[in-house]
Structure 1
């Protein structure tokens, strides 16, 4: 059985689905729309990246 993915910041489960409760215009900030979300539809927690804050990348539990 595959190990589930989690948000590395808050340790909540992450789902491989674009955030559906997010109004951020990522393209306007030079970012791609994230492919992972928390189970409630919000983007993964923000982390500092090369272009400022961006959603974290999921980690395996």
Structure 2
């Protein structure tokens, strides 16, 4: 949003009305993080990811 405002280009669609909702959600996330830090300091909410593909060895690679 800031980059587009500095560049002087128009925003696609009405973005301005959604900014208060964005701030509200960011505030909720910050308060939730502070509460978890205070009550559950060793909790680690990990995002599940697929296993990474292994890198195949290239011929002549030293190990």
For Structure 1 versus Structure 2, the TM-score category normalised by the shorter chain is under 0.3
TM-score scaled by length of structure 1: 0.19
Greater share of strand: 1
Is the radius of gyration larger for structure 1 or structure 2? 2
Higher relative contact order (CA 8 A, sep 6+): 1
